[in-house]
Amino acid sequence: MISSVLLISLYFLRFSSAHVVHAKTTINETCINYGRNYDCRFYQCYEERFPCGPSYWMLKWGYKYCDRMQRAAFNFDKTGQELIKKLSQCLTNKLLRHGLYKFHDINCEVLRSTGQRIVQECYMSNAKLFCQAYHGRNRDCFFQLTDSDDRHDLNVIRTMTSVGQKCSPKKKLSDMKPNKKMNQCLLTPTL
Ligand SMILES: *[C@@H]1O[C@H](CO)[C@@H](O)[C@H](O)[C@H]1NC(C)=O
């Protein structure tokens, strides 16, 4: 009984203290330049300075999809590649402009919601390109590089729904999946 109360308290203590993280490295110009050059290592550097952990935005979304999209870029056509480039530029630009990297302490939850908001903003500001690029092979490759759990994330659904509204004709979530019979993406799932 006592030990389970202790365990539960320890659990909550760990949980709540995990939200605020002190900077573990100095502000690193190499890292900032990664951000300026849309280099995915920027996200890793960020995580080294503020180790929120693999379940938080920086690794689970920022780094993972930056890396996957850049590795898979050759599978997309020119418009798809342009979209990937514009999105990754937009994301690191906004992360840099937010200036959180230079803080001494960071709340991982704040960083998470900032990341989610930035993704939404970047898709919306590139909606025109998204609408041009997101069909056929590009759509299937894009879909293929997302983990199925992540596709069910509410923020992803919100972002995809709102960007789809910007297209004419409007794209629904169901239009954003590959046709069941034919996946046009050649991407080998060795990511
Ligand atoms: C800055 O980051 C780069 C890349 O991660 C690393 O190689 C370098 O040692 C870091 N510099 C300092 C002063 O920590």
Which pLDDT score, from 0 to 100, does residue 184 have?
A: 83
* Residue 118 covered by a domain: yes
* Residue 5 covered by a domain: no
* Residue 186 covered by a domain: no
Q: Give the count of domains, the chain.
A: 1
* Residue 185 covered by a domain: no
Mean of the pLDDT values across residues 50-63? 97
Q: Is 40 in the pocket of ligand 1 (CB under 6 A)?
A: no
The sign of the CA dihedral 166, 167, 168, 169 is negative
Q: Percentages helix, strand, coil for the chain, rounded to the nearest 5? A: 70, 5, 30
* Residue 49 covered by a domain: yes
- What's the half-sphere exposure (Cβ side, CA atoms, 13 Å) at 11? 6
Amino acid at 175: D
pLDDT of 11 > 80? The answer is no
pTM for the whole structure: 0.86
* Residue 3 covered by a domain: no
Answer for the pair 66, 93: CB distance below 8 angstroms, yes or no: no
Mean of the pLDDT values across residues 7-17? 53
Residue from 154, 167, 70 nearest 123 by CA: 167
Q: What is the mean pLDDT of the chain?
A: 90
How many helices (H) and strands (E) in the chain? 11, 2
69-125 pLDDT tens trace: 999 999 999 999 999 999 999 999 999 999 999 999 999 999 999 999 999 999 999
Q: Among 30, 31, 32, 50, name the best residue to mutate to test ligand 1's pocket (greatest count of ligand atoms within 8 A of Cβ).
A: 30
* Residue 16 covered by a domain: no
- 15 pLDDT band (50/70/90 cuts)? low
* Residue 165 covered by a domain: yes
Minimal-distance CA residue to ligand 1 atom 13:
28
State the distance from the centre of ligand 1 to the C-alpha of 94, rounded, in angstroms: 22
Ramachandran angles phi, psi of 166, nearest 5°: -80, -15
Instruction: Decide: helix, strand or coil at residue 10.
Output: helix
- 179 pLDDT band (50/70/90 cuts)? confident
Q: Is 32 in the pocket of ligand 1 (CB under 6 A)?
A: no
User: Which atom of ligand 1 is found nearest the CA of 26?
Assistant: 14
Give the domain extent around 166: 26-176
State the distance from the centre of ligand 1 to the C-alpha of 16, rounded, in angstroms: 30
